[in-house]
Amino acid sequence: MDRKDSWTVEDDLLLAETVIDHIKTGSTQLAAFEEVGARLDRTAAACGFRWNSTVRKQYEDTVKEAKIQRSAQKKVKIASVIPMRKDDAVGTGENVIKKHIQEVIHYIEKLEHTIKLQQEEIEDLNNKLAEEKSGKIASEDLDSLMHIILRAKEMGTLNKAN
C-alpha cells in the first residue's frame, strides 16, 4: 500500500542535491531542508527526517567531498583576503609585536603613576590620622587637667568650710 504523500526518487534526488549544494557553499542543512520543503510542499522537519533516515546514507561519500571542497574554499578565501609574502609577514609581525610592547609599557607607566598617587594619598591620610590622634591626646589631657582643677576647687572649698 503506497502513501499518497510518499517520497519519490526525484524528491530524494532534489533533497540530496540541495543539501550537498548547501554544504559546499557553507550554508546549513536546515536552510536546505527549508528550500526543499518549499519546493515540494513539505515541512523542513519532514525533509530533515527524510534526509537523516534514508537519503544521507546513499550520499555519504558525496557529503564528505562537499565538506572537503567547502574547507578548501575557506582556505582560498582566507588566503585571498590576506595576501602576504613571507618577508612581509615577518616585518608585519615585528611591527605588531613592537606595538604590543609599547602598549604594555604605556600601561605599566600608567599603573606606576597610579601607584605613586595612591602612595601619596596614603601618606597624607596617615599624617592626618597622626594629627587627629595627637589632637585627641591633647584634648584628653586637657579634660583630665580640667577635672583635676575642678576637684581641687571642690576640695579647697570643702577645706575652707571646715
Q: Could you say which of 81, 115, 130 is where a domain stops?
A: 81
1 three-state secondary structure: coil
Same domain, 101 and 162: yes
Last residue of a domain, one of 62, 81, 100: 81
Last residue of a domain, one of 27, 60, 81: 81
* 4 falls within a domain: no
Residue 79 confidence (pLDDT): 63
pLDDT in tens, 69-122: 888 877 766 666 665 555 555 567 888 899 999 999 999 999 999 999 999 999
Is the entire prediction scored with pTM above 0.75?
A: no
> What span, in angstroms and rounded, lies between the C-alpha atoms of 157 and 94?
93
Q: What angle do CA 29, 48, 2 make, to 5 degrees?
A: 145
Clarify whether residues 65 and 95 are in a common domain. no
Domain that holds residue 129: 89-162
How many domains does one find in the chain? 2
E strands in 8-101: none
Q: Average pLDDT for residues 24-33, to the nearest whole number?
A: 92
Indicate if 94 and 159 belong to the same structural domain.
Answer: yes
Q: Which residue has 598617587 as its cell numbers? A: 117
